Amino acid sequence: MSQFDAIVIGGGVNGLVAGTLLSRHGKNVCIIEKSNRFGGMASYSVDGGPTLAHSLYNLSPRALSDIGIDPQHPVLSGKPVSTVSLSEDGRHIVFNSEGVFWSEGAKHPESDAWSDLTKQLITYGGLLRQLAEASPPGGQKAILSRGGLNEFLRLAKLGRGLKKLGKSEMRRFLQVVLSNVYDIVLDDLSEGPVAGMLAADAIWGSATGPRSPGTVFNLIYRLGHGGNITQPAGGMSALTDLMVEAAQKAGCVLMPETKVSRIMLHDDTVSGVATNDGRTLTAPIVLSNLAPRLTSRMTGPSAFDIETMRRVRSIRALGTAAKVNLRLKDDAALPGLPSELAHERLIYAPSVEYVEAAFNPAKYRQMSKAPVIEAFKMQTADGANWLSTIVQYASSDIEGGWTQTAKEQLAQITVETLSHALPGLSDQISGKQVITPDQIEGATGAPGGHWHHAEMSLDQLLTLRPANGMARYSMGPKGLFQCGAATHPGGDVMGLAGRNAALAALEARP
Amino acid sequence: MTVENRYDVIVAGAGHNGLTAAAYLARAGMRVLVVEKNDWIGGAAVSRSLHDGWTYSNCSYVCSLLRREIARDLELPKYGLQVIPYEGGASFTRDGDYFAYYSDHNALKREIARHSAKDADAYRGYSQAIMRQCRFIRPFLLRDAPDPASLHPRDLGELAYLVKKAHGLGSRELGETLKFWTMSIGDFLDEHFENDLIKAHLAGSGIIGTGLGVYSPGTSYVLLHHYMGDIDGGIGAWGFARGGMGAISNAIAASFKDHGGTIHTGSGIEKILSKDGRVEGVTLEDGKVIYAPVVASNMDIKRTILHHLDAAELPDDFTKAVRNFKIRGSSAKLNIALDRFPSFPAAPEHTSFLRGDLHVSQSLLELEKAYDDWKVGRWSEKPYIDMLIPSQIDPTMAPTGAHMMTVFVQYAPYDLEVDGVRSAENWDEKQRSAMAETVLDQMSVACPDIRERIVHMEVRSPLEIEREVGLTEGNIFQGELTFDQLFFNRPVPGWSQYSLPVKGLYLCGSSAHPGGGVMGAPGANAARAILRHETRHGRMKGYAA
Amino acid sequence: MSIFTDPKLGLIPGPFHKKLEEQNRAQNWYDWAGYAAPGVLDSVEFEYFALRNQASLFDISPMHKYRLTGPDTTTMLNRLVTRDIRKIGVGRVGYAIWCDEEGMVIDDGTLFHLADNDWRLCCQEQMLTWLLDAAWGFDVSVVDETHSFAGLSLQGPTSYAVLEAVGLDVSKLKPFDLAKVDHDLMISRTGFTGDLGYELWCDWDKAEELWDSVWKGGAHQGLRAIGYEAVNLARIEAGFLTAGVDFQPVHATERLHRGQTPFELGLGRLVDFNKGHFNGRRELLSKRESPRSLLMRFDVEGFKPSEGSLIYNRRKKEVGHITSGIWSPTAKRNIALAHVRMPDAGRSSGLKAEIYTLQEGKWDTRMARLTPVTKAFFAPPRARATPPART
């Protein structure tokens, strides 16, 4: 069969959510994926190593239930992990919903300040989530249309949410949301690992440092679903399996290992796609999970206005996070880390200044010599033990490119940095995998290997995401929609971009 | 003039904003006293003669932002103010070339084309975007920033004005506006231009006076803050006040005195007196007590609240917000008396651009690195410098044939790092002259003989600026110009309309909306608020009303 | 430091400057894209009548010229402009307009189809950034020829005879045809006057040579060098629009909402909705039926030129303004181009222009009735005859 109601290009998380949702609304949907597995960054791995994404903290229950997955599904209902900030002196700091503690159990003196600040940011995150669960405001022409009215009601609801905060909190919100994490954190906490932890959580995946205005938004975004971090039972692939299953159950046709060569247009309207192997699939709706630039390559620039193309190519997407997977000899405890913390989320971010300093080299196309790191110790399906780490900043555009030497250097830096707090770690390592942003780009198509497809900076958010004039998922010709992380609200293993896009497509073509 | 012990209003600080507020209030019939800690007036808009025969504008040094409405309402030309536009400017390269920024648009286009034909064509789109933003923002400068959390009719009215203005843009332009306001000047320039030197030349205005780098979001707004002024309606034009920047303060002061105002110099405010949540007056450093139901502070918010007011009078969250207000020292200043005009070997004969602002930064990345140095408590190894020789245009600044040079330096930290310790106390003579050497090295790129030309030089670190002028950390804007401290967030959320939690106490300096620069707008806006709240007739007269 | 004038300031000479300087008795230069261009060389009347009665030479080198080549050029240009340029054959010239994403006119100009996927665009406004933007994603090279390619406009009833005298045979050239005479010279039967005329194009450094040969050929044909003021009279008679006067090129406006759609400028015939997507198409589809104003041609009551006048309707409400208005020496009418807002633009009568006059120190105002005119004010058959007449 080659005739569909809708075609989704790209079987990452957002593509799966979008396709499944459309299917559940009675559409005959096909999801096309160029690689042999679905799930995008959530399932990409090299030689059976850990996947790119290695934890969940922002998965949208709304997106899940919209595609028929119970948010409480056993795969997803694991206990939240704590965050452990690794310290050189062996007194690691543990962050969890109870507060902040020294690794030996005593309460950290800044526990209350940290909890208060985090709680406040989570409240703001809840407000922003209302915005995230629908198309961004603006752009609707007539307020009296059905869409206009809905939007008005939604904004009114947000307004009510703000009002409920009370006057002074509402004012504070409007200030904090525009601020930089350096200032907000150091206003309430002293410089050190407790502040450093929040600074690090504000910059993952981004080409920005804690001093940059707008970074508090990133932190709030991350805390938008409560801030709990979990690992799916059975690993990330268990989650993507769940999603694939949901798609199939909803009746989606899944086409792995199929490359789309062209999006076909007729009279400024989408008519389907052509594949590399010469097939033509027709549909009046095409949703692209790819970044706008790649999508426009499939239609050709003629399908869009010149200004649109200018904006598309100005979208900033510099991937700065590399994945370094360290294969461990055995399941033994990590040196210097109490065994009960072995499976928590480990980070290396001793201070806010440290995080800022780590960012500096990225501005000049160098890798950080003292990077910020997030690590999970895990076992893959084949029983191998790994320390799965995200290392920042290692940007896609480093001078000289990501040669083998550069990759080895990054692995070396990662091990050395972690060894400050985990002395003797290198003795436990039997192998290394380095997945650099350019490699992530090659594998997943994410521009610059950026895990949000487009930098989450204030000038690329909400109405401006991915670019001015294209925030409401439709793009150029009739029937063409974007559903990827570059669109509102953004990336992470979240699914809202795909969900919102599918709803927008349904609304445009009832 | 004798100082009495009771006035209608006391203005703390004779900076240009304090004087502006005072002059408006005096014209409205109030009895106003301005008190100033220094023996001279002007705050950071001051002309000082520190070496016989030469006059320095030793803080602010060029003029553009001063609102026309204020100059007209206060009749400043009548009191001696003359502002002369300077034309052009340049950035010099290390290999003996330059990029000249001519005000003649044909010459400018040809000069850009000399460096990049593409950029010459792209310049129009760039300046169109900037001008549109200027046109959008200018009407807000002399208005109050609405409190978004308030249902007061005035706030709703101001909010409605904002919405109407924003709506008038149309959805595309509104998007462009939001984007402009939130992006970095580096990204904005990268979107328009390809040539490093041109980008570096244009980027300077995006970082002057701020603790941000050219790639920090929000610096496009800072650039706008420098472009939104005008001279005689020529938007974005800059000029010299004849006689130095002090001429502006002096003219406002003369206008004020002519309408019955009194200025008391040589003794600053020791304490702002209040009782039961209401201002009563002030005590001065010399012990004098003066009473007034209204006190307007031209000092920055931190100084006003944390140093001169009894904390017990204030709500805790307000004091906390003030403590967290960011005023970061990031700039230094060199004022130099020259025996004659320095040589600029790269500049062609008879060129006009030397009359303007001269720079030596080569690229955006060089500017960004300059910021990185500052972040860790050092002055920049290659600072951004903005140097001008006003004596070419203003004959009153130096003896005939000799010249005066003003050099603004970005970045220099307030808390200087020496041997691992960051402290303002580290700014001793040795560190100051070491910084001056760094700056002179930078200047030598443009004028290699600069060291031989020096007759006298004043080096001002952020610490000197703080000590002399009273600006916390020597921050020239009385507070960072970041989103979280602008418009309804300035100086702190909920207090953006000049009044403060103590009744009768007002803020009339640059810590208040719309912020720093020799603009006069905070002063005029504060006067309007005072007249509204504290007098029966309630209305200010004039174009700034 | 010096008080001498900076040599880098001001206007610069174009390729024909030496020749124009020899002719320029009026010393009336104006700024045309940074070049010193003659407003008048001796007197407007002489120059205008040379144009309409014999032959005239006008330097058009300051126009912006861009060469576009490469396999995707036709596709790229067809996305840029509103008309279907696939209908402009090789060896033909087409008038075209192009719009921004909101359907507002950026500029108008002529497209010279030199060979397959080889075009030259000639227009009033600078366009390099826009063309590079438009070419992004296509295999097209854009070369700015503005400062390397000279143009000379030879217009008037004897212009064919002038070329004949130079030894150039253009008898077969129909209006909007172009011919490459040799490596150094291209001739197109185009112009901005509505009369018989040609435009001659050559490299910058060949310009003086070209001028000299044409000048010699024109010795017995009444050929005269002219300035812009004479050309302006002629173009208003022909009903041609000038960028920045009769419409605001949208990229050159600082103020918002000053742009106009092709429909508002009466150029709807140049918009082809059936050729596939082009810039601004989606907006134009929705704006086609709802123009906010119309560009109109008027016959103005009385004899006073009406430029800059405000237009009032029957109820004395201001509804527009005159953009160009002259007394036409050839049509012997008081003519004008004007913007009139809807719905008054749709009404055929009742509009009046308020014309200010200054006569020997006395300002006055008079209300002049406006009569809409649909055709050009002056369109002589000689402009279209092929082969053209010699006189």
Does residue C157 sit in the same domain as residue C213?
A: yes
Does residue A464 belong to the interface with chain B, where contact is any CB pair within 8 Å? yes
C287 part of a folded domain: no
The neighbouring-strand residues paired with B92 are: B98
* Distance (Å, whole) CA B540 – CA C8: 48
Exposed, middle or buried by CB within 10 Å (0-12, 13-18, 19+), for A123? middle
C349 part of a folded domain: yes
Residue A104 has pLDDT above 50, yes or no: yes
Does residue C180 sit in the same domain as residue C124?
A: no
CATH number at residue C158: 3.30.1360.120
Subunits in contact with chain C (3 or more CB pairs closer than 8 Å): A, B
Minimum mean pLDDT range among A74-83, A132-141, A414-423, B503-512 = A132-141
Q: Do A300 and C137 touch (CB under 8 A)?
A: yes
The minimal CB distance from B122 to the residues C5, C129, C254 is found for C129
Whether A82-228+320-395+397-435 and A6-74+233-316+445-508 are alike in CATH topology: the answer is no
Phi-psi region of C136 (alpha: psi -120 to 50; beta: other; left: phi over 0): beta
Residue B416 has pLDDT above 50, yes or no: yes
Which residue out of A152, A155, A180 would a mutagenesis test of the B interface target, given it has the greatest number of B Cβ atoms within 10 Å?
A180
What pLDDT, on a 0 to 100 scale, did the predictor assign at position A142? 45
Residue A154 has pLDDT above 90, yes or no: no
What pLDDT, on a 0 to 100 scale, did the predictor assign at position C1? 47
Segment A295-308 shows an average pLDDT of 97
Segment A464-476 shows an average pLDDT of 92
Chain A residues lying within 8 Å of C130, measured CB to CB: 306
Which residue out of A355, A395, A458 would a mutagenesis test of the B interface target, given it has the greatest number of B Cβ atoms within 10 Å?
A458
What pLDDT, on a 0 to 100 scale, did the predictor assign at position A152? 66
CATH topology (fold) of B327-473: Polyamine Oxidase; Chain A, domain 2 (3.90.660)
pLDDT, tens digit, 9 for 90 and up, residues A496-509 = 999 999 999 999 86
* Distance (Å, whole) CA A136 – CA A461: 9
- Which band of pLDDT confidence, cut at 50, 70 and 90, is reported for residue B232? confident
Q: How many CB pairs under 8 A join B and C?
A: 73
Buried b (16+ CB within 10 A) or exposed e, C185-224: bbbbbbbbbbbbbbbbbbbbebbeebbebbbebbeebbbb
* Distance (Å, whole) CA B143 – CA C156: 60
Does residue C119 sit in the same domain as residue C175?
A: no
* Distance (Å, whole) CA B411 – CA B379: 6
Q: How far is CA B6 from CA B45, B271, B526, C1, in A?
A: 28, 16, 21, 54
* Distance (Å, whole) CA A87 – CA C217: 91
Which residue out of A265, A302, A307, A474 would a mutagenesis test of the C interface target, given it has the greatest number of C Cβ atoms within 10 Å?
A302
CATH number at residue C102: 3.30.70.1400
What pLDDT, on a 0 to 100 scale, did the predictor assign at position B207? 95
Within chain B, all domains assigned CATH 3.90.660 are found at 327-473
Q: Do C10 and B106 touch (CB under 8 A)?
A: yes
Q: Is the peptide bond before C305 cis (omega within 30 degrees of 0)?
A: no
CA of C217, closest CA in chain B: separation in Å? Answer: 35
Which residue in chain C has the smallest CA separation from A266?
A: C276
pLDDT, tens digit, 9 for 90 and up, residues C123-171 = 999 999 999 999 999 999 999 999 999 999 999 999 999 999 999 999 9
Which residue out of C75, C78, C79, C86 would a mutagenesis test of the A interface target, given it has the greatest number of A Cβ atoms within 10 Å?
C79
- Those residues with Cβ within 8 angstroms of residue B513's Cβ, 6 or more apart along the chain or in another chain: B144, B145, B486, B487, B488, B490, B496, B497, B522, B525
Q: Which helix (H) or strand (E) holds A326?
A: strand A321-328
Does residue C323 sit in the same domain as residue C303?
A: yes
Any idea which residue has 């400062």 for tokens?
A: C147
Q: Which of residues 153-212 of A touch C (CB under 8 A)?
A: none
Chain C residues lying within 8 Å of B388, measured CB to CB: none
- Those residues with Cβ within 8 angstroms of residue C363's Cβ, 6 or more apart along the chain or in another chain: C356, C357
C4 part of a folded domain: no
Its sign, for the CA torsion A148, A149, A154, A158, is: positive
CATH 3.40.50.300 given to domain A6-74+233-316+445-508:
no
Interface of C with A (CB under 8 A): 75-76, 78-80, 100-101, 130, 133-134, 136-138, 276-277, 279-282
> What length is written for chain A?
510
CA atoms within 13 A on the CB side of B392: 24
Within chain B, all domains assigned CATH 3.50.50.60 are found at 9-48+62-83+244-326+478-534
Which residue in chain A has the smallest CA separation from C103?
A: A305
Chain B residues lying within 8 Å of A183, measured CB to CB: 324, 326, 484
Residue type, A324: V
Q: Do A302 and C277 touch (CB under 8 A)?
A: yes
Does residue C308 sit in the same domain as residue C369?
A: yes
Which residue out of B151, B181, B182, B513 would a mutagenesis test of the A interface target, given it has the greatest number of A Cβ atoms within 10 Å?
B182
Residue type, B272: I
pTM of the prediction? 0.95
C368 part of a folded domain: yes
- Which band of pLDDT confidence, cut at 50, 70 and 90, is reported for residue A347? very high
Does residue A463 belong to the interface with chain B, where contact is any CB pair within 8 Å? yes
Q: Which of B2, B41, B38 is nearest to B18 (CA)?
A: B41
Asked if B89 and B163 touch (Cβ cutoff 8 Å), the reply is no
Q: Which of B371, B258, B359 is nearest to B23 (CA)?
A: B258
- Those residues with Cβ within 8 angstroms of residue B449's Cβ, 6 or more apart along the chain or in another chain: B342, B343
- Domain end residue (candidates: C144, C174, C201): C144
pLDDT, tens digit, 9 for 90 and up, residues A352-369 = 999 999 999 999 999 999
Q: How far is CA C18 from CA C74, C201, C212, C282, in A?
A: 38, 18, 11, 49
Q: Which of C384, C229, C381, C374 is nearest to C307 (CA)?
A: C229
Q: Which of residues 219-278 of A touch C (CB under 8 A)?
A: 265, 267-268
Subunits in contact with chain B (3 or more CB pairs closer than 8 Å): A, C
Q: Do A170 and B326 touch (CB under 8 A)?
A: no
* Distance (Å, whole) CA A298 – CA A480: 11
Minimum mean pLDDT range among A137-146, A301-310, C234-243 = A137-146
- Which band of pLDDT confidence, cut at 50, 70 and 90, is reported for residue B1? low
Phi-psi region of A219 (alpha: psi -120 to 50; beta: other; left: phi over 0): alpha
Does residue C305 sit in the same domain as residue C318?
A: yes
Q: Do C9 and B107 touch (CB under 8 A)?
A: yes
Does residue C102 sit in the same domain as residue C58?
A: no
- Beta strands, E only, chain C: 28-32, 35-40, 55-59, 64-69, 93-99, 105-115, 118-123, 141-144, 149-155, 178-182, 185-188, 197-203, 223-225, 293-300, 310-312, 318-328, 333-341, 352-359, 362-373
Strands C149-155 and C197-203, how do they pair? antiparallel
Q: Quote the DSSP letter at residue A106.
A: P
C222 part of a folded domain: yes
Q: How far is CA A20 from CA A45, A65, A249, A258, C297, in A?
A: 24, 11, 9, 18, 59
CA of A297, closest CA in chain C: separation in Å? Answer: 8
Does residue C176 sit in the same domain as residue C80?
A: no
* Distance (Å, whole) CA A285 – CA A293: 19
Segment B386-392 shows an average pLDDT of 96
Chain C residues lying within 8 Å of A302, measured CB to CB: 75-76, 78-79, 276-277
CA of A419, closest CA in chain B: separation in Å? Answer: 25
Q: How far is CA A353 from CA A193, A373, A388, in A?
A: 10, 15, 25
What pLDDT, on a 0 to 100 scale, did the predictor assign at position A1? 53
C269 part of a folded domain: no
Residue A141 has pLDDT above 70, yes or no: no
Which residue in chain C has the smallest CA separation from A293?
A: C137
* B307-313 long-range Cβ contacts below 8 angstroms, 24+ apart: B308/B12, B308/B269, B308/B270, B308/B271, B308/B272, B309/B271, B309/B272, B309/B274, B309/B502, B309/B505, B310/B271, B310/B274, B313/B274, B313/B277, B313/B501, B313/B502
C248 part of a folded domain: no
Which residue in chain A has the smallest CA separation from C274?
A: A267
Asked if A296 and A309 touch (Cβ cutoff 8 Å), the reply is yes
* Distance (Å, whole) CA A357 – CA A369: 10
When the pLDDT of each residue in chain C is averaged and rounded to a whole number, the result is 96
Any idea which residue has 């005119």 for tokens?
A: C373
Segment A246-260 shows an average pLDDT of 97
The residue ranges of every structural domain in chain A are 6-74+233-316+445-508, 82-228+320-395+397-435
Superfamily of domain B9-48+62-83+244-326+478-534: FAD/NAD(P)-binding domain (3.50.50.60)
Q: Do A302 and C281 touch (CB under 8 A)?
A: no
* Distance (Å, whole) CA A56 – CA A53: 8
Q: Do B107 and C144 touch (CB under 8 A)?
A: no
Q: Do C277 and A303 touch (CB under 8 A)?
A: yes
Q: Which of residues 216-245 of A touch B (CB under 8 A)?
A: none
Asked if A362 and A368 touch (Cβ cutoff 8 Å), the reply is yes
Does residue C86 sit in the same domain as residue C166?
A: no
- Beta strands, E only, A139-233: none
Does residue A320 belong to the interface with chain C, where contact is any CB pair within 8 Å? no
Chain C residues lying within 8 Å of A268, measured CB to CB: 276-277, 281-282
CATH number for the domain running over A82-228+320-395+397-435 = 3.90.660
CA of B220, closest CA in chain A: separation in Å? Answer: 11
Asked if B525 and B518 touch (Cβ cutoff 8 Å), the reply is no
Q: Is the peptide bond before B514 cis (omega within 30 degrees of 0)?
A: yes
Backbone angles phi, psi at B413, to 5 degrees: -80, 160
C249 part of a folded domain: no
* Distance (Å, whole) CA C76 – CA C98: 12
Which residue out of B98, B99, B104, B403 would a mutagenesis test of the C interface target, given it has the greatest number of C Cβ atoms within 10 Å?
B104
Q: Which of B442, B10, B123, B75 is nearest to B258 (CA)?
A: B75
Chain B residues lying within 8 Å of C9, measured CB to CB: 102, 104, 106-107, 352
Residue A147 has pLDDT above 80, yes or no: no
Backbone angles phi, psi at A69, to 5 degrees: -105, 130
Q: Which of B532, B370, B340 is nearest to B455 (CA)?
A: B340
The minimal CB distance from B191 to the residues A176, A314, A353 is found for A314
Quote the number of domains for chain C: 3
CA of B69, closest CA in chain C: separation in Å? Answer: 22
Chain C residues lying within 8 Å of B110, measured CB to CB: 8, 12, 34
Its sign, for the CA torsion A203, A208, A211, A215, is: negative
Q: Do C11 and B170 touch (CB under 8 A)?
A: no
* Tokens coding B151: 């249902």
- Which band of pLDDT confidence, cut at 50, 70 and 90, is reported for residue A143? very low
Indicate the SS3 state at residue B35. strand
Chain C residues lying within 8 Å of A308, measured CB to CB: 101
Q: How far is CA B60 from CA A65, A94, B63, B485, in A?
A: 60, 50, 8, 22
- Those residues with Cβ within 8 angstroms of residue B430's Cβ, 6 or more apart along the chain or in another chain: none
- Which band of pLDDT confidence, cut at 50, 70 and 90, is reported for residue A156? confident
Domain boundaries, position C76? 64-144
